[in-house]
């Protein structure tokens, strides 16, 4: 196991007076062991103990060929995996269980009286994962650099009159060609009124002269996620579109400026949202300003009005304000990832944010 990450989790357990922990989330198990194990409906548990009696409980179908730095206990489909797990546990001590463990396993463990009490462990592990190690930080830089290059090529394809779904297909090939493992999330390629839906799913719509285009894209590289949004315009841009675009761009810049150690996550949200509200578009900014990111595109720790957590060096999150006006067929979002440094933040995306008008034919 990664000793630096493991020791950080064990230290956090000690601070919370937690002597043992059950981890079932495959992403967290990969985070600690370097092995992606996707068990489907079968039991998968990394058991941690303050005294070092760690075990990885894995079904026989997922035999590991590498040394993961932890003793592996295999079980088969005819065995009660939860009962086997209970044998390792301290019967009278509290156990922390992560939020993703299916109830059928937890209820069985409780039937076996395997621990003194049960508490949620996710806040402990999530807090450790928020602070990216130097290796993780470099992986985030690499993923975002590739995303910049892919965005440039995708924007270049807009003049070719593709549907939203065709753009999604083009995007997947661009990521593959760039050496990525695929999408880090389902992308948004949205024209005109579709751009006014913050979570639009690409369809057969085609862009037309004067449309705004929202491109929210991310790729997976070296197991780490990228995420970026840019909004461009086809053929021409109206004064109304330009006004809204510049407001969102300034909100993005203000949010980034507030992303520094000692500030709170809600301060970043307020910096971006407050400016949009000041300009009279507050009701059209309908989602949080951002989310943490790393191994997963949405990790614990959002950039919202209610998150008063203090920002710390090593955190990585998005700053993505937007204005969405369906009745005007206008949607604008601008998103960058920031990596918190000792005295501010490093913006991981470098694709330009100046307003772009893409050459596009005016038909009919």
- What the block records as the tokens of 79 is 């065995």
Q: Are 358 and 232 in contact (CB under 8 A)?
A: yes
What is the reported pLDDT for 363? 74
Question: Residue with structure tokens 């596009």?
Answer: 360
What is the reported pLDDT for 122? 87
Q: DSSP class of residue 222?
A: T
What confidence tens digit (pLDDT) does each residue in 104-113 have? 999 999 999 9
What is the reported pLDDT for 164? 97
Q: Which of 139, 146, 96, 78 is nearest to 350 (CA)?
A: 146
What is the reported pLDDT for 1? 87
What is the reported pLDDT for 86? 96
Name residues whose C-beta falls within 8 Å of residue 160's C-beta, 6 or more positions apart in sequence.
Answer: none
Residues of the chain with pLDDT under 50: 364
What is the reported pLDDT for 364? 42
Name residues whose C-beta falls within 8 Å of residue 24's C-beta, 6 or more positions apart in sequence.
Answer: 44, 45, 46, 97, 98, 100, 101, 102, 105
Indicate the helix (H) or strand (E) that contains 270. helix 265-278
SS in 3 state form for 82-98?
HHHHHCCCCCCCEEEEC
């Amino acid at each position: 196991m990664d000793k630096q990450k493991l020791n950080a989790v064990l230290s956090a357990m000690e601070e919370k007076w937690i002597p043992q922990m059950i981890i079932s989330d495959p992403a967290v198990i990969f985070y600690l062991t370097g092995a992606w194990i996707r068990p489907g409906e079968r039991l998968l548990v990394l058991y941690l103990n303050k005294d070092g009696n760690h075990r990885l409980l894995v079904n026989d179908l997922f035999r590991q060929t590498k040394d993961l730095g932890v003793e592996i206990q295999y079980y088969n489909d005819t065995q009660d995996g939860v009962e086997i797990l209970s044998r390792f546990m301290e019967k009278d001590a509290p156990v922390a269980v992560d939020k993703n463990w299916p109830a059928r396993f937890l209820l069985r463990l409780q039937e076996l009286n395997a621990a003194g009490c049960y508490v949620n462990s996710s806040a402990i592990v999530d807090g450790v994962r928020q602070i990216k190690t130097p290796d993780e930080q470099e992986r985030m830089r690499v993923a975002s650099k590739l995303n910049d290059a892919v965005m440039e090529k995708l924007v270049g394809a807009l003049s070719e009159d593709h549907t939203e779904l065709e753009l999604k297909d083009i995007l997947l090939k661009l990521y593959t060609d760039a050496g990525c493992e695929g999408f880090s999330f389902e992308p948004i390629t949205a024209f005109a009124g579709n751009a006014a839906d913050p979570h639009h799913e690409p369809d057969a719509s085609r862009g037309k002269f004067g449309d705004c285009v929202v491109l929210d894209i991310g790729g997976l590289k070296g197991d780490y996620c990228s995420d970026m949004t840019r909004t461009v315009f086809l053929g021409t841009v109206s004064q109304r579109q330009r006004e809204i675009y510049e407001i969102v761009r300034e909100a993005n810049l203000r949010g980034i400026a507030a992303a520094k150690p000692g500030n709170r996550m809600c301060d970043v949200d307020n910096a971006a949202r407050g400016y949009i509200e000041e300009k009279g578009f507050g009701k059209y900014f309908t989602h949080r300003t951002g989310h943490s990111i790393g191994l997963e595109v949405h990790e614990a720790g959002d950039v919202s009005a209610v998150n008063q957590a203090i920002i710390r060096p090593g955190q990585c999150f998005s700053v993505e304000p937007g204005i969405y006006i369906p009745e005007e067929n206008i949607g604008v979002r601008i998103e960058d990832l920031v990596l918190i440094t000792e005295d501010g933040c490093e913006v991981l995306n470098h694709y330009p944010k100046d307003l772009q008008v893409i050459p596009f034919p005016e038909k009919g």
